[in-house]
Amino acid sequence: MQEILFRSTVGGTDAPVPAETAIAEGMPADGGLYVPVSFPRLPDRVFSPEPLSYAELAFLVMKPYFSGWDEAVLKDILRKAYDLNTEAGREPYFDTGEVAPLVPLEGIAQSPGARVFVLELFHGRTCAFKDMALSVLGGLIHHSLERLGRHEPLAILTATSGDTGSAALEGLAGVPGLKTAVVYPHAGTSEIQRLQMVTTTPENRLVLGLEGNFDDAQSAVKAIFASAATSADFAGIRLSSANSINIGRLLPQIVYYVKAWRDLSAQGALGRDGRMNVAVPTGNFGDLLAAKYAKEMGLPIGTLVCASNANKVLADFFATGVYDRCRTLVKTDSPSMDILVSSNLERLVFLAAGQNPERVKTLMSNLKTKGVFKLNRKEMAYLADFEAGWCSDYSAGSAISKAWSVWRVLLDPHTATALDVVLQKEHILKDGTPLVIAGTASPYKFPRACSEALGFAHAGSTALGDLECALELEAKTGVAMPRQLKELSAKTVHHRKVVTKEALAGELAQFFRNKSE
């Protein structure tokens, strides 16, 4: 089996590196992002109807990227993440009979052949799709360090718009040699997202609120990575990331699209040509990029629908080829998508530019210095399989209401955004090709928006906190609230500090330098 190596999106001279180097480093020193030099073909076994557990499927999909690894080690990492059987002293990471169940929405559109499904990716410990990859990342990082012979502590630094933070804190907990710091926009997450992070016990973990929005947090963290090698504050500190800038986050996300295709195939629900379409609510673009990677590996995906909220920088980009972040960030009911600089788009631009690092460097430099870049006609042609759209909070609320009233399916505002965009694009549904919507978070992480959409009387009351609102939502819908969210009300807040961008590096350096607890 040919080894798949990884290179930087902007590095033209450095030799490609194996998976363990890319994962342990998180980002290349040149400020780009690691991408596969080539895409392996999915093995024939994944297209076979014989049953596979999720862990077995993940091994088949991911193994080509880890060809130098002992197969038993990779299998064990994936089994610990995705096995639904309780082991002594360990609860399963996912709380359903399936890791990622596929739920049909029958008769959703005017077209009689339209078939839409929601792929529920939020049944992990923190109730968001980030668990699908972060349950694996700790094991991948740990073994990467072993393969590289690195025994010094590794500092994991992550910016979050809400869900990555709690999933990283949970998924990396207890991994030997790791200290994890999460930076979130202080006023830019839901209350429940914030509580999930700040109630984390402080052993080898730090949560900092940042004055500003997610783009401020993300740019500050990327600046620290870029300058760490020459910074006195970070001298001797080895950094990596749990953000989707780390290729170890992205690779496991490919798997659930393959799983969705297998489920549709088993149900006889694929189109005549064996394809499915995919729609993803996205801000930082990693989740939808994973679907594109799956397609590059041979998964029969047709159209990839990019769904945005009112911060429609991605929708505008796919419509015009112009990426323009020079606009005011809008605070919405889907805060994980309140992003104007989508980090993972750089990886897609790399493919569109014919894997030309100099071209990518120019485009990314324009984005940094001018706030805008534009693709040429040939690059836009590569994006022909993407469609994009956006919707307001009001329209997303209408989609929540429709999903509940017609199918008794409770959607969060992010997933509802994708549903609304799909309903705007009925031409995609007309030929009967099934469309899979990525269900990215539990509705109970955003109970106020869900309750307001369903017309519950107390939803807009400031007297009710989000946890109380969530309990009311559970009582009125009968849909069980995840236990781990209910338990937040009894947890102690351990992380209260809010810092400026100027003070961030010093706070992080002090935390990483302290001896492990």
Residues 320, 466, single domain; the answer is: no
**Residue 180 falls within a domain, yes or no?**
no
Residues 452, 421, single domain; the answer is: no
Mark which of 442, 468, 501 sits at the end of a domain: 442
**Residue 379 falls within a domain, yes or no?**
yes
**Residue 471 falls within a domain, yes or no?**
yes
Q: At 433, which amino acid appears?
A: T
Q: At 383, which amino acid appears?
A: L
Mark which of 442, 458, 490 sits at the end of a domain: 442
**Residue 197 falls within a domain, yes or no?**
no
**Per-residue pLDDT tens digits for 3-29:** 899 999 998 768 999 999 999 999 898
Residues 278, 363, single domain; the answer is: yes
Lookup result for tokens 């940042």:
210
The predicted structure's pLDDT at residue 405? 94
Lookup result for tokens 């393969």:
147
**Residue 199 falls within a domain, yes or no?**
no
The predicted structure's pLDDT at residue 14? 80
The predicted structure's pLDDT at residue 233? 85
> Collapsing DSSP states into helix, strand and coil, what is residue 155?
strand
> DSSP secondary-structure letter at 490?
G
Mark which of 421, 442, 463 sits at the end of a domain: 442
| Residue burial 394-419, b: 16+ Cβ < 10 Å; e: rest | ebbbbbbbbbbeebebbbbbbbbbbb
Residues 430, 455, single domain; the answer is: no
What is the C-alpha separation between 257 and 467, in angstroms, rounded?
Answer: 32
Residues 375, 451, single domain; the answer is: no
Burial label for 444, CB within 10 Å (0-12, 13-18, 19+), is buried
**Residue 396 falls within a domain, yes or no?**
yes
Q: Which runs of consecutive H residues, i.e. helices, occur in 149-209? A: 163-171, 191-198
Which tokens sit at 483? 């236990």
Residues 283, 347, single domain; the answer is: yes
The predicted structure's pLDDT at residue 268? 93
Are 371 and 377 within 8 A, CB to CB?
no
**Residue 368 falls within a domain, yes or no?**
yes
Residues 261, 386, single domain; the answer is: yes
Residues 388, 325, single domain; the answer is: yes
What is the C-alpha separation between 42 and 149, in angstroms, rounded?
Answer: 31
Domain count across the chain: 2
The predicted structure's pLDDT at residue 232? 85
What is the C-alpha separation between 177 and 340, in angstroms, rounded?
Answer: 34
The predicted structure's pLDDT at residue 426? 85
> DSSP secondary-structure letter at 27?
S
The predicted structure's pLDDT at residue 29? 87
Say how many C-beta atoms besides its own lie within 10 A of residue 358's C-beta: 10
The whole domain housing 465 covers: 447-481
Residues 300, 435, single domain; the answer is: yes
Lookup result for tokens 């170890």:
248
* β-sheet with 435-439: strand ranges across: 102-105, 116-120, 435-439, 276-281, 301-308, 386-390
Residues 283, 334, single domain; the answer is: yes
Residues 416, 475, single domain; the answer is: no
Q: Which CATH number goes with the domain that contains 285?
A: 3.40.50.1100
Bridge partner list, 198: none
The predicted structure's pLDDT at residue 505? 93
DSSP 345-399: HHHHHHHHTTS-HHHHHHHHHHHHHHSEEE--HHHHHHTTTEEEEE--HHHHHHH
Strand 322-324 to 116-120 pairing: unpaired
**Per-residue pLDDT tens digits for 343-400:** 999 999 999 999 999 999 999 999 999 999 999 999 999 999 999 999 999 999 999 9
The predicted structure's pLDDT at residue 89? 57
Which residues contact residue 193 at a Cβ distance below 8 angstroms, ignoring those fewer than 6 apart?
162, 163, 165, 166, 184, 335, 336, 445
Below-50 pLDDT ranges, the chain? 88
Residues 371, 458, single domain; the answer is: no
Strand 154-159 to 116-120 pairing: unpaired
What is the C-alpha separation between 74 and 66, in angstroms, rounded?
Answer: 8
**Residue 19 falls within a domain, yes or no?**
no
The predicted structure's pLDDT at residue 345? 97
